[in-house]
Amino acid sequence: MTQVAVHPDSVVAHDGKAILQAMNLTAGYAKRPVVHGVSCQLHPGELVGIIGPNGCGKSTLLKTLSGNLQPMSGQVVLDGQPFERLPRQRRAQLLAMLPQHPDSPLGMSVRDLVRCGRTPHTKWFQSFGTSDQTAIEHAIRSCELDDLADCPLMEISGGERQRAWIAMTLAQQTRLLLLDEPTSALDVGHQLDVMHLLRMLVHERGLAVVVVMHDINLAIRFCDRMLVMRDGRMVGECYPKDENNWSMLEDVFNITIQQRTPEGALSFERHRTHATPETT
């Protein structure tokens, strides 16, 4: 049994227009659809989790929202413009995407990687200015990488390397961050550090942050809203503090969610399926 405390700020209001809209998206690979007819909106000032069982299409949806995967049908609108009409540099100024297993370039240091986040803000052959250097150092500091900034990426741990990639997306200073399981390679302490950092970016800087997650504990604790998926389709939206939504999660994950303490600690029980003995 696992227990988790619900974050006290786990629901926020958003009044502005959506930074990104997905309309009836169908997407997949080699003409085989994986995501079917998904529509959603992402607003500044909220941390949204995309959650569901393994293989339900979470990462495929994120790739499609980022423009890294062309939809088979439907449309993505970013900052009021159809995605395909936006120049590549403008897209990168608005949206940063961190895949689940990014490749670390050989010979590159942590600081070198974080610098890459400033590329969308500079012209060809233009050197970095003061604002670029400030953004780079702030991203390094925010991810607690000061002591590792000059270390080669291949000589640090997997968890440290993941934080370096997150720092690169922070240096990009976009309005929307899309991250595919950014805590998957981290220990529990650093998982919490990353999620607290993402909430800070949402609530202090007004970013829209979307995180593909498999950990329902972290999702319930930190997300303002969850897009719940199963079998490539959007089952619905879940707001963690609204207990009326919990039945959706219970159904999708085949669990029972219980509230145990006045502080809001939650416990999860797995439904067990007992096979009927075969008869001969």
Sign of CA dihedral 235, 239, 244, 247: positive
Residue 126: per-residue pLDDT: 67
Q: Is residue 36 part of a domain?
A: no
Sign of CA dihedral 233, 234, 240, 242: negative
Q: Is residue 162 part of a domain?
A: yes
Residue 261: per-residue pLDDT: 55
Residue 59: per-residue pLDDT: 95
The pLDDT > 90 percentage for the chain reads 49
| pTM, full prediction | 0.83
Task: Return d(Cα 90, Cα 22) in angstroms, integer.
Answer: 18
Instruction: Answer yes or no: are the C-beta atoms of 51 and 214 closer than 8 Å.
Output: yes
Q: Is residue 129 part of a domain?
A: yes
Tell me how many domains the chain contains.
1
Say which DSSP state 182 is in.
T
Tens-digit pLDDT profile for residues 98-154: 998 787 777 899 999 999 998 888 776 667 788 889 999 999 998 889 999 999 999
Tens-digit pLDDT profile for residues 24-80: 999 999 889 999 999 999 999 999 999 999 999 999 999 999 999 999 999 999 999
pLDDT at 233 over 90: yes
What radius of gyration do the chain's Cα atoms show? 20
**Range of the structural domain that residue 112 is part of:** 104-173
Residue 35: per-residue pLDDT: 97
> Which three-class secondary structure state does DSSP give residue 28?
strand
Task: Return d(Cα 259, Cα 129) in angstroms, integer.
Answer: 52
pLDDT at 7 over 60: no
pLDDT at 257 over 80: no
Q: What is the mean pLDDT of residues 246-263?
A: 75
> At a CB cut-off of 8 Å and minimum separation 6, what does 73 contact?
24, 25, 26
The residue whose two tokens read 């909220």 is 46
Q: Is residue 8 part of a domain?
A: no
> At a CB cut-off of 8 Å and minimum separation 6, what does 65 contact?
20, 22, 42, 76, 178, 210
The torsion angle over the Cα atoms of residues 26, 31, 32 and 37, rounded to 10 degrees, is: 10
Residue 279: per-residue pLDDT: 38
- Given pLDDT bands bounded at 50, 70 and 90, which one contains residue 4? very low
- Given pLDDT bands bounded at 50, 70 and 90, which one contains residue 12? very low
Q: Is residue 154 part of a domain?
A: yes
Q: Is residue 113 part of a domain?
A: yes
| Residue 9: how many other CB atoms lie within 10 Å | 13
Q: Is residue 155 part of a domain?
A: yes
Mean pLDDT, rounded, of the chain: 84
> Which three-class secondary structure state does DSSP give residue 244?
helix
Sign of CA dihedral 275, 277, 279, 280: positive
Residue 5: per-residue pLDDT: 44
End-to-end CA distance of the chain: 37
β-bridge mates for residue 257, sequence order: 268
Query: What ranges in the chain are assigned the alpha helix state H?
Result: 58-66, 88-94, 110-116, 130-142, 158-171, 188-205, 216-222, 246-253
Say which DSSP state 7 is in.
P
Q: Is residue 86 part of a domain?
A: no
